Amino acid sequence: MHPDSAVAFFGDNQPLQLDSGIVLSSFQIAYQTYGTLNADKSNAILICHPLTCDQHVANPHPVTGKPGWWENLVGPGSIVDTQRYFVICSNVIGGCLGSTGPASVNPQTRKAYALDFPVITIGDMVCAQAMLVDRLGIDTLFSIIGGSMGGMQVLQWASFCKERVFSAVILASSARHSAQNIAFGEIGRQAVMADPDWQDGWYIEAGTNPRKGLAVARMTAHITYLSGATLHRKFGRNLQERSQITFGFDADFQIESYLRHQGVTFVERFDANSYLYLTRAMDYFDLAAEHGGRLANAFSKTGTRFFVASFSSDWLFPTRESRIIVHALNAAGASVSFAEFETDKGHDAFLLNEPVMFSAVNGFLQSAARARGLEK
């Protein structure tokens, strides 16, 4: 499966102890690396992927053929310079691009796990990543970088493995899923579950695929990734390949055609149950709750350098959520830089070519590299 990626297997002797109390013995993590680990193993950067991305951060995607999802940021000569750093990106546990997830074969039944796969958390994702980093022989990561669900993983790393994180970049993220975030997560899950082809979760065994439900879930999520202003600028009320409205339910408007396309292409590359599990992991994320209700406790005695950024038109992970993180880091006496970038591009901005954001991340990494003794 996915020969493009390396795969780390973990057998019964290295089980994953999940937050639910369940033990996942025998699992695998698919990952990509770029660049070369230096002699003292001090130049490793872990990229944590958001919900619907995967380990293919800086190479063409094996299913879609599209460029890596963060090639703007990661590559030879880029800000996360793969000629300088050893970059690791792994598919999260629960995912569907090679890491063990609900579509993987359950060794006990030799059928797909489906809903027998245990519900996982952001913490579980990070534990599995940490086992991969161990396997690669790396003790301390020079940096961990992630946006959105990726940023949640960075926060989790910086809280639970703080001695292993020299620097951390958290973009367009939050230390908890808000009520509105959970609401949209629930919409996505209900859309999938309403599709009879979901087969109560056992669609692989049934030979079906809840394409329509997953497409609706994706379409809904996609709206939340963009700002109203972006939608207005890109689409407005423009008609799709017609000069007049048709008085029907076809995609008269470009925005309708665009969303339908987003839905249809997504189901080609994503597993519906993975979508349920990963959105659930995000819903469950509440870092303060894991530290007695005080977020600053999550970062006590941290030596990690932090960079936190938000985007002015991001209404899914708005600036106020980043400020909560920053205030907690301040209260914990951490080293933290914070920026809110002006853009009309909404949540998606962290994945796009945003020069001001890139130059800030670049400055932060350069400074951290000097502190780490990683002179060019």
Binding site for a second copy (CB under 8 A): 19-20, 22, 118-119, 176-180, 182-184, 186-187, 189-191, 193-196, 212-213, 215-216, 219-220, 223, 228, 231-232, 234-237, 245, 247-249, 251-253, 255-256, 259-260, 263, 276, 280, 283-284, 286, 289, 315, 318
The residue among 68 and 346 lying less far from a second copy, judged by its C-beta, is 346
Measured from the CB of residue 287, what is the shortest distance to a second copy in angstroms? Answer: 12
Is 49 considered catalytic here?
no
Environment class of residue 220 by beta-carbon count within 10 Å: exposed (0-12), middle (13-18) or buried (19+)? Answer: middle
Residue 264 CB, nearest distance to a second copy (Å)?
Answer: 11
CA distance 338 to 352: 19
Q: What minimum distance in Å lies between the beta carbon of 243 and a second copy?
A: 12
Task: Give the type of residue at 183.
Answer: A
Distance CA 28, CA 4 (A): 15
Q: Give me the catalytic one of 81, 195, 314, 348.
A: 314
* CB-nearer residue toward a second copy: 142 or 184: 184
For a second copy, the closer of residues 175 and 368 by Cβ is 175
Residue 314 bears catalytic tag: yes
Structure tokens belonging to residue 1: 């499966």
Q: Which is nearer to a second copy, 237 or 370 (CB)?
A: 237
Per the CB < 8 A criterion, the answer to whether 310 and 341 are in contact is yes
Specify whether 134 is catalytic: no
Read off the amino acid at residue 231. L
**CB 231 → a second copy: shortest distance, Å?**
4
For 80, other C-beta atoms within 10 Å of its C-beta total 24
Max intra-chain CA distance, the chain? 67
Strands (E), the chain: 6-10, 16-17, 23-24, 27-34, 44-48, 74-75, 80-81, 86-90, 105-106, 111-112, 141-147, 165-171, 305-311, 335-341
- Bridge partners (DSSP) of residue 309 are 171, 339
Q: Which is nearer to a second copy, 18 or 132 (CB)?
A: 18
CB of 114 to a second copy, least distance (A): 12
Query: Is the CB of residue 216 less than 8 Å from the CB of residue 191?
Result: yes
Active-site position among 90, 148, 173, 313? 148
Closest CA to 264 of 195, 202, 216: 216
In the complex with a second copy, the residue whose CB is nearer, 325 or 336, is: 325
- Least distance to a second copy, CB of residue 194, Å: 4
We find the least distance from the C-beta atom of residue 212 to a second copy, in angstroms, to be: 4
Please, which residue, 249 or 301, has the CB nearer to a second copy? 249
| Active-site residue, from 49, 56, 177, 347 | 347
CB atoms within 10 A of CB 158: 25
C-alpha separations of 237 from 67, 244, 251, 313, 315 in Å: 30, 11, 12, 21, 22
Which residues are known to be catalytic? 148, 314, 347
